Amino acid sequence: MGEFKVRKTIDEINEKIRRGEAVVVTAEEMVKIVKEVGPEEAAREVDVVTTGTFSPMCSSGAFINFGHTVPTIKAYRVWLNGVPAYAGLAAVDIYLGATEPVEDDPLNKVFPGEFRYGGGHVIHDLVAGKKVYLKAVAYGTHCYPRKEYEAEITLKDLPYAVLCNPRNAYQNYNCAINLSDKTIYTYMGILRPKAANANYATAGQLSPLLKDPYLKTIGIGTRIFLGGAKGYVIWAGTQHNMKVKRTEKGAPLTPGATLMVIGNLKEMDPRWIVGTSHLGYGCSLAVGLGIPIPILNEEVAMYAGLGDEDLFTQVVDYAYDYPNGIKRNYGIVSYAELKSGKIKVLDKEVPTVPISSYVRAKEIAEILKDWIKKGEMLLTEPVAPIPGADLFPFRSSG
């Protein structure tokens, strides 16, 4: 690691955090610092950069054990507030997926469906301390004779409940337009015809994986902010892809890396775990997630200092191209342009619409900064890199 002028280790940074001397800034502040003094000086000054994102994230859900009943039951089908959970795990273990609609939902039969209640809403209700109605049916065995069980449960009463999201924190995402002549209803929001609006879904310069684009500090075991509590990165997320087109500075131009994350549902806050309903598409869960980036050297500082004008995404048609798997884009735009309120597509000015909350992303980065400054959260050394990534050495200073 001789090529770096600044070299820090996690141990050194943690020692500074314990002494209350660590310099912690948000990703937004880091952009300004790197612009003013350059990455080398920024790496000397700053120890930790905090990031954040708050957005509907499909591929989220919770593992729940609802406790053994007397007489015992081996649950075969389970519903929470009428939302089916997956019960094919063990006697009273279930997985509740965020996008599962309530059993009698009219779905898209009268189009566009509203999807007012689903797994994400149940998870939110649990975290908010509300009573949730559980129903289980079984076929009965010698060891588990009971065939039916109904109860009102609360998160507090559950023996075990963890949020375990197979794919969160997408590193970059498409900017969606609709080139057809009818309004379409997508997971990217409502897209009016003839490219009347362009929706985008990333917090740009605050977004965790855009600030460590090669995952050189974020790995398996990294402690993060998840749903208002401390959670962990446990693996790459589904659809994780490191081999994507990048800018000269390393920022991906398309959806890239993803993370699988876990955290104790019982410690979470309903402000950061919110059920969502997407017209004509389905239900989901908005998840608050933030990752601290240890500024180990000037290269990490350079990446963490990438601003909205350095981060780009592609404009994709969701009326024809996306559903038909056609890999085509209608231009590359920067997050600075997207945040300005309009972009140029096909020689036309198109208003932009964020569907990820920048305001809440910033709040998460601030909370994380506060936790670290107060010594309530120390940084972690990953136990292994995310598949396809190479971590910087964390212990060795030389």
Partner 1 sequence: MFKKGLVLRFPAEIVDQPIVWRLVKDFDLSFNILKATILPGKEGIMVMELSGHPKNVSKGLQYLRDLGVEVKTVGQEIKRNEDLCIHCGACTAVCPTGALSVDRETMQVVFDPDRCSACELCVTACVVRAMEVRLEREAL
Which residues are catalytic, by number? 143
**Out of 97, 360, 372, 377, which residue is the one contacting partner 1 (CB under 8 A)?**
360
Residue-wise burial string across 224-248, b where 16 or more C-beta atoms lie within 10 A, e elsewhere: bbbbbbbbbbbbbbeebebeeebee
277 binds partner 1 (CB under 8 A): yes
276 binds partner 1 (CB under 8 A): yes
Output the smallest distance, CB 198 to partner 1, in A. 9
338 binds partner 1 (CB under 8 A): no
Output the smallest distance, CB 383 to partner 1, in A. 34
Q: Which residues contact 243 (CB under 8 A, 6 or more apart)?
A: 388
Q: Which stretch binds partner 1 (CB under 8 A): 89-97, 111-119, 251-259, 317-325?
A: 111-119
Q: 218 and 293 in contact (C-beta within 8 Å)?
A: yes
SS3 247: coil
How far apart CA 165 and CA 236 sit, in angstroms, is 11
Handedness of CA 72, 77, 80, 81 (dihedral sign): negative
Interface with partner 1 (CB under 8 A), residue total 34
x/- string (CB under 8 A) for partner 1, residues 163-202? Answer: --------------------------xxxx----x-x---
Whichever of 172 and 284 has its CB closer to partner 1, that residue is 284
Q: Which stretch binds partner 1 (CB under 8 A): 71-79, 167-175, 259-267, 276-284?
A: 276-284
**Out of 24, 58, 64, 353, which residue is the one contacting partner 1 (CB under 8 A)?**
353
- Look at residues 101, 95, 99, 67 and name the one whose alpha carbon lies nearest to residue 82: 101
- Look at residues 168, 191, 184 and name the one whose alpha carbon lies nearest to residue 353: 191
134 binds partner 1 (CB under 8 A): no
Whichever of 65 and 197 has its CB closer to partner 1, that residue is 197
Q: Which stretch binds partner 1 (CB under 8 A): 63-71, 131-139, 271-279, 318-326?
A: 271-279
x/- string (CB under 8 A) for partner 1, residues 201-240? Answer: ----------------------------------------
Q: Which stretch binds partner 1 (CB under 8 A): 89-97, 156-164, 216-224, 278-286?
A: 278-286
Within residues 39-78, the interface with partner 1 by CB under 8 A covers 54-56
Query: CA 171, 177, 180, 181: dihedral to nearest 10 degrees?
Result: 150
**Out of 286, 300, 333, 389, which residue is the one contacting partner 1 (CB under 8 A)?**
286
What six digits make up the tokens of 158? 């559950």
What string of DSSP letters covers 150-206? Answer: EEEE-TTT-SEEEEEEEEES-SS-PEEE--SSS-EEETTEEE-TTTT-EEE---GGG
Output the smallest distance, CB 102 to partner 1, in A. 15
282-290/273-278 β-pairing: antiparallel
- Number of alpha helices (DSSP H) and beta strands (DSSP E) in the chain: 6, 24
SS3 14: helix
How far apart CA 306 and CA 34 sit, in angstroms, is 8
35 binds partner 1 (CB under 8 A): no
Output the smallest distance, CB 197 to partner 1, in A. 5
- Look at residues 162, 209, 163, 208 and name the one whose alpha carbon lies nearest to residue 60: 163
- Contacting residues toward partner 1, per CB under 8 A: 54-56, 110, 112, 114, 116, 189-192, 197, 199, 274-279, 284, 286, 339-341, 351, 353-360, 362
